[in-house]
Homo-oligomer: A and B are copies of this chain.
Amino acid sequence: MALVLNEDEVMMRDMAQGFFAEKAPVKALRVLRDTQDETGFDRALWADMAGMGFAGIVVPEEHGGVDMGYLAAGLVAEQMGRNLTASPFLSTAILAATALKHGTDEQKSEWLPKIASGKAVIALALDEGVKHNPRGTATTAEPSGNGFKLNGSKAMVVDGHVADVMIVAARTSGEAGDAEGISLFLVDPKSKGVATERTIMVDSRNAARIDLDDVEVSGDALIGTLDGGMAVLDAVLTAGRGIAAAELLGAGAQAFEDTVAYIKERKQFGQIIGEFQALQHRSSHLYSELEIARSAVIGALTALDEGDEKASAYCAMAKAKLGSVAKLASQEGVQMHGGVGMTDEYDIGLFMKRIRVLQELMGDAHYHMNEFAVANEF
């Protein structure tokens, strides 16, 4: 496993670094928030990102993507984390693209080019309760005519209120709690019976609740096999967790660097507060945690690209580790900023908010620790 970036990867990282710092820095998120932007991201930015190849980063070349793999995608996500950039990258370029790679030829031909070109925003409608729990899917899809009829409610659907199409997990057999019996469907949000409510979250980013009331879809809306949706979901969530971990790494590292810069400037008691050994040791501990966390992200995404059989476990472990470490970075960040860390004026609070949401998405640290134990039979 190569744990050092190769030339292409270094180039991708540097390109992403320059791009987001210029086009979508933290203040861009502030503007979206303060203007109560209805889309929740900047469509022009998303078009630019597509132009850079970011939207099609895991889409095969035959479908118009650049197919650079998940480690490269992680380098992009890391820079988005550093800049708190709002975009449909996670929902569309990662989750939906990964799902649709498991679709029929027709589905691939229809949607993957639209993803790569930035022309479609696609949302994954999975979670229902307050916590991530794929096996807990209770939304039903009953046979109806040539297709299915969907009923249920989804929450925390990222980019759900602006999606051109949604991928909905629904139960075609079994009961909530079973891994088997879940199927994935492409659902047009404009279909009869779909009610979408944008939910404004603490991080000012996109999420929605979706109610499905006798929503009819045709038989060719099915992605993957009937009742076998969990296999596709596993692949989708593995990728999503790895990329979320990469974004957490970026957000955590930036929060840390902002904090170190702050304590090098701020004076109290006639001293630069960065001179206080207690803060030095806590900073050095956090530095160590972030270095360990970086290895987890690189290792997980490399395993994913290499088709390692443990990739799923590794991405989950990386998500767990980054959830904890980035949270610590934001907590130490606010505390070391002192009073100004509590003000909206400084960015550190925005990092705390985004990190909280990211660590919750697709399973928090506790969830993955538990899954780790289950997978290792203890």
A24 to chain B, nearest CB (A): 39
- A273 CB → nearest B CB, Å: 11
- Can you tell how many copies of this chain the complex includes? 2
Give the residues in chain B near A277, CB-CB below 8 Å: 276-278
> Which residues of the partner chain B approach A278 to less than 8 Å between Cβ atoms?
277-278, 280-281
Interface SS majority for chain A: helix
Compute how far the CA of A281 lies from the CA of B276 in the bound complex, rounded to whole angstroms.
11
| Per-position binary interface string of chain A over residues 283-294, scored 1 when its CB falls under 8 Å from any chain B CB and 0 otherwise | 000000000000
The residues of B that contact A281 with a CB separation of less than 8 Å are 278
What sequence of 0s and 1s flags, for each residue 347-365 of chain A, a beta carbon within 8 Å of any chain B beta carbon? 0000000000000000000
Closest chain B CB from A70 CB (angstroms): 38
User: What is the minimal beta-carbon distance from A156 to any residue of chain B, in angstroms?
Assistant: 24
**Across-interface contacts of A276 in B (CB, < 8 A):** 277
Q: Which of A276, A277, A280 has the largest number of chain B CB atoms within 10 A?
A: A277
What residues on B are CB-neighbors of A280 within 8 Å? 278
CA distance A280 to B280 in the complex (A): 13
Nearest CB of B to A274, in Å: 12
Give the residue name and chain of the B residue nearest to A284 (CB).
B278
**Quick one: closest B residue to A280, CB to CB?**
B278
A263-281 at interface with B (beta carbon < 8 Å) = 276-278, 280-281
- Distance in Å: Cβ of A272 to nearest Cβ of chain B: 14
Residues of A within 8 A of B (CB): 276-278, 280-281
